Amino acid sequence: QLVEVNGSPCLKLTEDEEKMTMPGMKMIYRLYDAAGHPFMDLMALEEEPSPSAGQELGIRVLGRLGETTKVIPTTVEPLHRTYFRDGQVCEPLPSLPEVRTHAQVSLNLLSPAHRRLHEPQPYPVAVTERLHRLFLELRQGSH
């Protein structure tokens, strides 16, 4: 979805908060707990410093943007990879077996609470406070 035009962040407005786009170029991080399970994915603006293991973060969970939550990840894994830039391959593409293995390993790392078929616990996706502020500025500027 369109998140930036000529270097300026933009967003799609809708009444459904879960369908709104988050503006700007972003990085995505997977946050892990002490048991080695991922407990949240975090979107941050590309220019923000990477979150650090053991460092407290103020975040906003999508679907509950009105409240700040504090989390302390034990491990932080960057998820965003750039394979194409300006129409050119800039990193070798993984093979289908590599993609399949990566997906299976990722699923196996999920907590049983997220994996169970009966009433699974929703897996949260959050944004940094800085990305949330940009979102609010653009949303208010469009009214």
**C-alpha–C-alpha distance, residues 59 and 66, integer Å:** 11
Positions of the chain with pLDDT lower than 70, given as ranges: 1-20, 142-143
By the 8 A CB rule, do 44 and 126 touch? no
Distance CA 37, CA 111 (A): 6
pTM here is 0.83
CA distance 124 to 61: 7
Which sequence spans correspond to the domains of the chain? 4-91+122-141
- Residue 135 in tokens: 């979102």
Given this model, what pLDDT does residue 136 score?
87
In what order do the strands lie in the sheet containing 57-61? 69-71, 57-61, 125-128, 38-45, 26-32, 75-78
On the CB side of 66, CA atoms within 13 Å amount to 1
Task: Quote the pLDDT of residue 13.
Answer: 62
| Dihedral pair phi/psi, residue 3, rounded to 5° | -125, -10
Closest CA to 59 of 47, 73, 80, 46: 73
Tell me what pLDDT residue 5 has. Answer: 61
Residue type at position 31:
L
Task: State the pLDDT at residue 135.
Answer: 86
Give strand pairing partners of 69. Answer: 59
**Cβ contact 39:109 at 8 Å:** no
Reply yes or no on domain 4-91+122-141 having CATH 3.20.140.10.
yes
SS3 6: coil
